[in-house]
Amino acid sequence: MNDVNFSSGPAEGARTFAVPATPVPHYVSRAPFDPYAVDRMTPAQERFYRAAPIVLMWWRFRRHKVAVASGILLIVFYIGILFCEFLAPYGLDSRHTDFIYAPPQAVHFFSDGRLAWPYVEGFDYHLDMTDLRRVYTPDPKKPEPIRFLCRGDSYSWWGVVPGGLHLACPAQGGTLFLLGTDRLGRDMLSRIIYGARISLTVGLVGVAISFTLGILIGGVAGYYGGWTDLLIQRGIEVVQSFPHLPLWMALAAILPVTWSPILVYFGITIILGMIEWTHLARAVRGKLLSLREEDFCTAAVLMGARPARIIGRHLLPSFMSHLIASATLTVPSMILGETALSFLGLGLRAPITSWGVLLSEAQNISVVALYPWLMLPVIPVILTVLAFNFLGDGLRDAADPYH
């Protein structure tokens, strides 16, 4: 009773008591409790406190500028693969035998010091008998204006709708090789745009397969435990003990040579998806082992919830930030896996065009030294991998409630 002092007020004689001053943690508000504070909130405060979790996640994500820029870049890439035929200046297999290994043409916006319509300079070439190669020289006297929204090589959009409209076309009788040509005189820019459709979608399909396997197998191992967990973990260790590159090579060699390019594409996608699921399965298993003992999980069990609902409705959302980060990091690994297999000649093959198939033409060091633009398909690969990594960091931080 020494700690509490009751006294009478001088004016009204009301009884009050005082408690000894104790340090208040920094995270506890020092202001007195006001039950009507909610009614006096500003519109901005009310909007924040009443926002849904997905809205709060979006607000946190917008603060990560690099992740936002990466997301915009990836959106542009994936929208672009829907309209490859329109964006490419030439058809996928259009050949220009007079311009084999032609270097990239620069776009000019000024002529004689004045602003002009965008144009490229035509080529003059001669055969170098010393190196036995064609030498191309831009000729300023041959300006070739670029046409936009024009008719060019005919195509079939997604193999269904015939068309011939292109975003940019060469001048009549001219050329437009912004990234040069290959050994058959095919435009590299057009082939890179077409190759994005395969290389970018192989990552999404592969992630869908690996995530389905990883969440199902890891969820069963983490929720049930015991002998089920033991058997699954030993199986994962067996899969992880194989070196990836030889395993890819062996599985890719199993694919029949008589398969159509589409079947080969799906075969490579399934192979990549069935190899990359083990890391996610272990992560899911570890999280579920710790979360299944929490009070909210025990309450769901006592209320009669089934294991599938407990895992999908209560456990998986608890570490959604980790799943999002894993998804965004697995997509670039799938793209790199397809690129590596195609570069080695064990993945996708012509007539399918992907970034890995394009890079396979640059295996000879002498070709790279003479025609370095054949290595340009590696640039979109690097940009895509970095964009997915930055996007994954931003989404992970935004989805983490403790961030």
The CATH code of the domain that includes 347 is 1.10.3720.10
Residue 225 token pair: 């435990």
179 lies in the same domain as 291: no
pLDDT of residue 311: 82
At residue 280, what are phi and psi to the nearest 5 degrees? -65, -40
- Residue 1 lies inside a defined structural domain of this protein: no
Rounded Cα–Cα distance for residues 208 and 327 (Å): 9
Q: What is the reported pTM?
A: 0.78
At residue 330, what is the residue type?
T
pLDDT of residue 82: 93
pLDDT of residue 249: 74
pLDDT of residue 3: 47
208 lies in the same domain as 184: no
Task: With cut-offs at 50, 70 and 90, classify the pLDDT of residue 39.
Answer: low
Mean pLDDT of 156-175: 89
Tell me the per-residue pLDDT of 99-140, one tens digit each, with 9 for 90 and over: 999 999 999 999 888 898 999 998 888 887 777 778 888 888
pLDDT of residue 5: 47
179 lies in the same domain as 200: no
209 lies in the same domain as 179: no
- Residue 9 lies inside a defined structural domain of this protein: no
Higher-pLDDT residue of 302, 53: 302
Tell me the per-residue pLDDT of 313-327, one tens digit each, with 9 for 90 and over: 888 777 777 787 777
Number of domains in the chain: 2
- Residue 225 lies inside a defined structural domain of this protein: yes
Q: Residues near 279 by Cβ (< 8 Å), separated by ≥ 6?
A: 214, 326
- Residue 19 lies inside a defined structural domain of this protein: no
Percentage with pLDDT > 70 across the chain: 88
At residue 96, what is the residue type?
H
Higher-pLDDT residue of 72, 97: 72
- pLDDT of residue 21 exceeding 50, the answer is no
**Which of 190, 210, 233 is where one domain is finished?**
190
Task: Tell me the pLDDT of the chain averaged across its residues.
Answer: 81
136 lies in the same domain as 201: no
- pLDDT of residue 171 exceeding 60, the answer is yes
Mean pLDDT of 340-352: 77
Rg (CA), the chain: 31
Containing domain of residue 296, as a range?
Answer: 69-78+195-399
Tell me the per-residue pLDDT of 217-266, one tens digit each, with 9 for 90 and over: 988 888 888 888 899 999 888 888 877 777 777 777 787 877 877 788 88
Higher-pLDDT residue of 206, 386: 386
- Residue 52 lies inside a defined structural domain of this protein: no
Q: Tell me which range, 181-190, 297-306, 354-363, is most confidently predicted by mean pLDDT.
A: 181-190
- pLDDT of residue 46 exceeding 80, the answer is no
179 lies in the same domain as 256: no
110 lies in the same domain as 234: no
185 lies in the same domain as 225: no
Rounded Cα–Cα distance for residues 283 and 101 (Å): 48
- Residue 33 lies inside a defined structural domain of this protein: no
**Which of 139, 162, 190 is where one domain is finished?**
190
N-to-C CA span, the chain: 44
Task: Give buried/exposed letters for 137-167 (b at 16+ CB in 10 A, else e).
Answer: eeeeeebbebbeebebbebeeeeeeeeeebe
> Which residue reads 């997905």 in tokens?
54
- Residue 58 lies inside a defined structural domain of this protein: no
Burial of 189 (0-12, 13-18, 19+ CB in 10 A): buried
357 lies in the same domain as 231: yes
- Residue 42 lies inside a defined structural domain of this protein: no
206 lies in the same domain as 337: yes
Higher-pLDDT residue of 398, 39: 398
**Which of 190, 224, 254 is where one domain is finished?**
190
Asked if residues 300 and 310 have their Cβ atoms less than 8 Å apart, the reply is: yes
Tell me the per-residue pLDDT of 104-114, one tens digit each, with 9 for 90 and over: 999 999 988 88
202 lies in the same domain as 182: no
206 lies in the same domain as 347: yes
